Amino acid sequence: MLEDEINADYEYEIKAKLTDEELYEKIKKILNITNLKEIYECDVKIRDEKIKKLAIIEGASNIQISRVMRINRKMVDRAMKK
C-alpha cells in the first residue's frame, strides 16, 4: 500500500522522441510536399502557416524542426507563436 502511494507521487509520462528521419517524413506528410525545399520557395506568410501546422507533431521540439528543415530556429519560434 505504501508503495502504491509512493508510485502515485512520482508518476510521469515518458514522451517518445522522434529521430530526424522520422520527423522529416512526418513533415512531408503533414504539409503534403515531396521535398522540403518547396517551403523555401513560399511567401513568408504561407511558410509560417505551414510551419505552424507542425505544432501537432508530438515528440518534436522547435529546435529539431528547424534542424530537419534547415531553417533558423527563430523563424520556427516566430511561426509557432502566431
Model confidence over 6-37: pLDDT tens digits?
A: 555 556 566 678 999 999 999 999 999 998 88
Q: What does the alpha-carbon distance between residue 5 and residue 76 come to, in Å, rounded to a whole number?
A: 41
Above 90 in pLDDT, residue 68? yes
- Average pLDDT taken over every residue of the chain: 86
Q: What is the pLDDT of residue 46?
A: 93
- What number is the average pLDDT over the span 31-47? 90
For residue 40, name the pLDDT band (cuts at 50, 70, 90). confident
pTM of the model: 0.76
